[in-house]
A and B are shown apart, each in its own frame.
Chain A
Amino acid sequence: MTTHTVMVVDDEPDVLLSVNQILDANNYRTITARDGYECLAKLKEEVPDVLLLDIMMPGLTTKELLDMIEKDNRLAGMKIIFLTAVHSLEAEEIGLLNSKRVVDLIEKPFSVRRMLEAIEKAIKLE
């Protein structure tokens, strides 16, 4: 059975830890990053199957991050799931949902089940 890789990007360490624990317990390999820059750096080394991305983050904004990801063809197969405390409508407002790479949006605080389902669905889309 293939082990899929999920990268989680969130500025809250507790969130990162919790997600890591969930994914770990469900046979996923997790990569964590605490902000956009770290995300980009780690993406250079490895391309995950799914990217779990928090919207409101300091430093590089999610929009900018998204744009850079878009440009990188290496990351073409990677699916993005937003993980956010911000309302979906606002996300739409910012124009974050335009990209085809973004396949889902999970609202915080999330339910474990919801997250696992979303990731499964995203991987299956490949």
Chain B
Amino acid sequence: MGDEKWEMRKVRSIFIVEDDPEMCITLENILSEEGYTVKTACSGGEALRLARKEEYSVCLLDLELPDISGIEVLKHLKAFNPDMCVIVITAYESKEKAIEALEAGAYYYMYMHNEKTVNRAELLVTVKRAYDTYQLLEDKKRVEDELRWSEEKYRSLVQSTGDSVYLVDRNCKYLFMNEQHLSRLGLSKEQYLGRPYQAFHTSKESRWFAEKVKHVFDTGTTIQHEYRDENGRCFLKNMSPVRDPETGMVTAVTVVSKDITDLKSTERELMATRDYLNNIIDSSADTITVVDKEGIVRDWNKGAEGVMGYRAEEVIGKPNKKFFLDPEDAERIMEQVQREGVIRNYRTVVLRKDGKQIHVSMSASLLRDKNGVPIGTVRVSRDITKEVELERRVKEERDNLNLIFESMVDGVYAISRTYEVEFMNKVLRDEFGDCVGDICYRVFHDRDEPCPLCKLQVVMEKGQTVRWEWHSSRMNKIYDLIETPLKNIDGSISKLTIFRDITARKKAEEEIRKLNRELELKVVDLQEATRIKTEFLSITSHELRTPLTPMKAQLQMLREGYKGKLNQRQKESIELILRNLARLDRLINDILDISRIEMGRIKMAFQVMDLNDAVKEAIKMQEPFIRQKGIKLRVQLAELPLIIGDNERLRQVMSNLINNAIKFSPDGSEVIIETSTTLEGENVLFSVTDFGIGISEEGKKKLFQPFSQIDASMSREKGGTGLGLAIAKGIIRAHNGKIWVESAQGKGSSFYFSIPIRQKVREKEVPYICDSN
């Protein structure tokens, strides 16, 4: 506002009003030399005219002016510019004029010594002082202006603010109250001034207020607090001291009271939201942490506590490097997040407090302040130990599977939906080289398109396992293939093929079939031959017996005396013939038996029986022979479980064995017959022991074969057929039993047979007796 005046003032200008031209010039010169800019007027009228136009700070005024009295001019000049310092000059040493001038507002009065002269020094000093005074006045005015303006500013601020502003003195009397507070208390200006706080508030409030005011007065500090009025509205009160600028003493307290009810509710809402968010973060089972740019942990949720084992207070403020198995990871994550702003599914291994390692999948993003400046990272991690373990196991199984495939003799390969070879085992690699990635039909079959018989579609689409034989005409081989869908870790499906070259096997099978057919034919031939033989034997035996019948009949009649009396020699002769006839008859029987056994045509009549009964019968049949040779028979029969067998045939066997024992025993010697069950209780055992001539090692080997040397020669001597043991063996074998001999030459023999107690019996089957055992 007063800036223009400032500019002017810098150039020191002075206004001279002097009618005397010489004086005027003199004055002008003196002042110009001193650096002042001078303006002159030679009359009152001119002076006033000039003064109206411009403002001068100092004026030299001659009181003796031609037109208007100097005093009048002075008064006018002062009217125009009250601050101007007017120095009146006059020749007259007249105190009355001087006083009048001073009263009219002149600054100073100077006398001119002698006429038309002035004291130069005095003039300069006076002008200078005038100037200084003027400046001071101007300064004062400026300061006052500023102060006023400032005051205005503050007043308007105070009045227009939404906050309550008021001043109280030491006794809590209101010195000032702004509009807001006035309306809040419902007062008018007149009502408050000088009234105490207590007048408008409850005693409780007033007590409390007075305390605060006292505190500010005593300590000179500003205090701030929240305060709730009886209507429930919330205020933030700021009480600050007003100091006397000179003494510095507190003279009043300014109270600014801000209604923060809404703020508070917003704050409450924010806090509620914050609490809500915190709850979410806390109740998450995942690890949620905040790490600042320097890698220091700033936040650590309950999930993190659970997963990592560290409580929040143990880790907040500390670097996060130690949580990573690989410390470099901490930096890597930070870098990546800062570079890309976010990372997802970053897999790493972290260390729990107890040292255990956990696999986690981490997502991290930048945390920015309200200006968008990154201040750290937020990380959410999930414990994926189980998933990792599962993956590891799947991989292990896959590796195991691969190992198996590699060591297999069969070829194994896998192809994708699009016929690409995904896997080949060693066998295939050796044959075709490593063709992983190539197209299967090109590699294996040298084709440009899928093979017509390819099972890829069936396997992939129907998810079926196909087993089939492929006859390759190109390679003249036959393969057995198993093709099955294979599920990969990534969810895709491949076709796994295991194949084997079965060309040789097929050939062998074909050979076998051929041989079987030949065998069948041979069997048919054999059966036919057998049938013919059997028939032959049947007929033959019948035919052979036929002449024997009348021979025997006639001889017997002769012997019985039907044809007349015979002498002793004749009788003996007939006996001889009859004996041999009987032998012949037996031979025919035995041959028939053997051949029937051989042909498998002996029918065993199996029944439940006690072997001991058959033993007793056999012994009875041999009784005459036993008596004849005076044999001492010792019979030890144990209690036997019932067996399934042909009583007749077994009796035949035992009779045969007993007969042999007696035959080859010296007269009067002992023969022991025993039955028992074997140790395991699975078989019944029969034995007959003699103390006769025994059998050589050689003899033992062939003993049970038809017409074996030993048996035949002995038989011829002793009247046997040479077939007995072979037949016995056949019969015992038909019972699933075993027959054997223990003997030492010259010491005697023991013949044994055993028959299983529990056995499945097939009536028609009789084994061949001419085999090597």
Q: Chain A: residues with CB nearer than 8 A to chain B?
A: 12, 14-15, 17-19, 21-22, 25, 56, 85-87, 89, 93, 108-112
Which 10 residue pairs are nearest across A and B when measured between Cβ atoms?
Answer: A18-B553, A14-B550, A85-B545, A109-B552, A109-B549, A109-B548, A108-B549, A112-B556, A85-B542, A18-B550
- B280 to chain A minimum Cβ distance, whole angstroms, is 99
- Asked if B542 and A56 sit within 8 Å, CB to CB, the answer is yes
- The closest CB in chain A to the CB of B584 belongs to A109
Complex contact B557–A112 (CB within 8 A): yes
**With A15-B553, A18-B550 known to touch, is A108 a contact of B562 (CB < 8 Å)?**
no
| Interface CB pairs A-B, < 8 A, 13 | A12-B550, A14-B550, A15-B546, A15-B549, A15-B550, A22-B557, A25-B557, A85-B545, A85-B546, A87-B592, A89-B605, A111-B552, A111-B556
Given the interface pairs A12-B546, A15-B546, A21-B562, the reply to whether A85 lies near B541 with Cβ below 8 Å is: yes
B603 at the interface (CB under 8 A from A): yes
Closest-by-CB residue of B relative to A89 is: B603
CA A108 – CA B585 in complex, angstroms?
9
Are A22 and B549 interface neighbours, CB within 8 A? Answer: no
Q: Are B562 and A109 in contact (CB under 8 A)?
A: no
Give complex CA distance A126, B592 in Å: 37
In Å, the complex CA distance between A87 and B545 comes to 12
Residues of A within 8 A of B548 (CB): 108-109
B386-412 CB mask vs A (1 if < 8 Å, else 0) is 000000000000000000000000000
The answer to whether A19 and B546 touch (CB under 8 A), given A85-B541, A89-B603, A112-B560, is no
Q: Which residues of A contact B557 (CB under 8 A)?
A: 18, 21-22, 25, 112
User: What residues of B have a CB within 8 angstroms of the CB of A111 in the complex?
Assistant: 552, 556
Which residues in B have their C-beta under 8 angstroms from that of A108? 545-546, 548-549
| Distance of A35 from chain B, by nearest CB (Å) | 15
Question: Which secondary structure characterizes the binding site on chain B?
Answer: helix
Q: Which residue of B lies closest to A115 (CB)?
A: B553
Inter-chain CA distance A111–B560, complex, in Å, is: 11
Beyond known contacts A25-B562, A109-B585: 7 more, CB 8 A cutoff: A14-B550, A18-B550, A85-B545, A86-B542, A87-B592, A89-B605, A109-B548
B281 within 8 Å of A by Cβ?
no
User: How far apart sit A14 and B560, CA to CA, in the bound complex (Å)?
Assistant: 19
Tell me the residues in window 513-558 of chain B with beta carbons closer than 8 Å to chain A beta carbons: 538, 541-542, 545-554, 556-557
A23 to chain B, nearest CB (A): 11
Determine whether B498 belongs to the interface, using a CB cutoff of 8 Å to chain A: no
Question: Which residues does chain A contribute within 8 Å of B538, judged by CB atoms?
Answer: 86
Measured CB to CB, the residues of B under 8 A from A are: 538, 541-542, 545-554, 556-557, 560, 562, 581, 585, 592, 603, 605
Neighbouring A residues of B581 by C-beta, 8 Å: 109
CA of A98 to CA of B552, assembled, Å: 30
In Å, the complex CA distance between A112 and B549 comes to: 10
Q: How far is the CA of A19 from the CA of B585 in the complex (A)?
A: 19
Q: By the criterion CB–CB under 8 Å, are B549 and A18 in contact?
A: yes
B554 contact set on A, CB distance < 8 A: 18
Contact (Cβ within 8 A) B552 A110: yes
What's the Cα separation between A111 and B554 when bound, in Å? 10
Cβ contacts under 8 Å, B545 to chain A: 85, 108-109
How near does chain A come to B586, taking the closest CB pair, in angstroms?
Answer: 11
Question: Closest CB of chain A to B730's CB: distance in Å?
Answer: 15
Which residue from chain A places its CB closest to the CB of B648 in the assembled complex? A89
Q: Are A109 and B560 in contact (CB under 8 A)?
A: no
Complex CA gap A108/B545 in Å reads: 7
CA distance A85 to B562 in the complex (A): 24
**Min CB–CB distance B754 → chain A (angstroms):** 26
Kindly list chain A residues whose C-beta atoms are within 8 Å of the C-beta of B541: 85
CB-nearest residue of chain A to B602? A89
Q: Which residues of B contact A56 (CB under 8 A)?
A: 542
User: Are B562 and A17 neighbours in the complex by a CB distance under 8 Å?
Assistant: no
In the complex, which residues of chain A have a beta carbon less than 8 angstroms from the beta carbon of B592?
A: 87
- Contact between B553 and A112, CB atoms less than 8 A apart: yes
Give the shortest distance, in Å, between B87 (CB) and chain A (any CB).
Answer: 184
A109 lies within 8 A of B603 (CB): no
Contact of A12 among B549, B552, B585, B603 (CB under 8 A): B549
Cα-based distance from A15 to B541 in the complex (angstroms): 16
Q: Distance in Å from the Cβ of A20 to the closest Cβ of chain B? A: 10
A85/B603 contact (C-beta < 8 A), A25-B562, A111-B556 known: no
Across-interface contacts of B542 in A (CB, < 8 A): 56, 85-86
Q: What residue of chain B has the Cβ atom nearest to residue A24's Cβ? A: B562
Distance to closest chain A CB from B621 (angstroms): 16
B150 to chain A, nearest CB (A): 151
Nearest chain A CB to B590 CB, angstrom units: 13
**Residue from B541, B551, B562, B605 having most chain A Cβ neighbours under 10 A:** B562
Given contacts A86-B542, A108-B545, A112-B557, contact A22 B562 (CB under 8 A): yes
Give the CA-CA distance A14 to B605 in the complex, in Å.
Answer: 35
Report chain B residues within 8 Å CB of A14.
Answer: 547, 549-550
Please determine whether B549 and A17 come into contact, CB atoms closer than 8 angstroms. Answer: no
Instruction: Report Cα–Cα, A14/B553, bound state, in Å.
Output: 10
| A80, chain B: closest CB distance, angstroms | 19
The closest CB in chain B to the CB of A90 belongs to: B538
Give the chain A neighbours of B562 by CB distance below 8 A: 21-22, 25
A93 to B596 Cα, complex, angstroms: 15
Whether A22 lies near B546 (C-beta < 8 A) is no
Choose one: A86, A89, A93, A109; the contact of B553 (CB below 8 Å). A109
List of B residues within 8 angstroms of A110 by Cβ: 549, 552-553
Which interface residue of A12, A18, A25, A111 has the most chain B CB atoms within 10 A?
A18
Chain B residue contacts of A112, Cβ below 8 A: 553, 556-557, 560
Question: Nearest CB to that of A18 among chain B residues?
Answer: B553
Complexed CA–CA distance, A109 and B551 (Å): 8
Query: What's the Cα separation between A55 and B562 when bound, in Å?
Result: 27
With a cutoff of 8 Å between Cβ atoms, the chain B residues found around residue A93 in the complex are: 603
Q: Which residue of A lies closest to B589 (CB)?
A: A87
Of all chain B residues, which has the CB nearest A19? B553
Chain B's nearest CB lies how many Å from the CB of A85? 4
CA distance A21 to B549 in the complex (A): 14
List, in ascending order, chain B residues with CB within 8 A of A25's CB. Answer: 557, 562
Question: Nearest Cβ in chain B — how far from A93, in angstroms?
Answer: 8
Residue on B nearest A88 in the bound complex, by CB? B648
Complex: A19 Cα to B553 Cα, angstroms? 8
- Chain A, residue nearest B603 (CB): A89
Considering the complex, give the chain A residue whose CB is closest to the CB of B593: A87
Q: Which residue of B lies closest to A86 (CB)?
A: B542
CB distance from A56 to the nearest CB of B (A): 6
Q: How far is the CA of A22 from the CA of B559 in the complex (A)?
A: 12
**Contacting residues, chain B, for A15 (C-beta < 8 A):** 546, 549-550, 553
Give the shortest distance, in Å, between B599 (CB) and chain A (any CB): 14
| Residues of B with C-beta under 8 A to A109 | 545, 548-549, 551-553, 581, 585
Report B329 CB to chain A, min CB distance, Å: 97
Bound Cα distance A116, B624 (Å): 23
Bound Cα distance from A93 to B764, whole angstroms: 13
Cα-based distance from A77 to B562 in the complex (angstroms): 31
> How far, in angstroms, from A56 to B539 measured CA to CA in the complex?
10
CA distance A110 to B551 in the complex (A): 10
Rounded to whole angstroms, the CA-CA distance of A39 and B668 in the bound complex is 55
> How long is the Cα–Cα vector from A86 to B551 in the complex, in angstroms?
18
**In the complex the two chains form, is A22's CB within 8 Å of B553's CB?**
yes
| B605: A residues at CB distance < 8 A | 89
Query: A29 CB to closest chain B CB, in angstroms?
Result: 17
- What CA separation (Å) do A15 and B562 show in the bound complex? 16
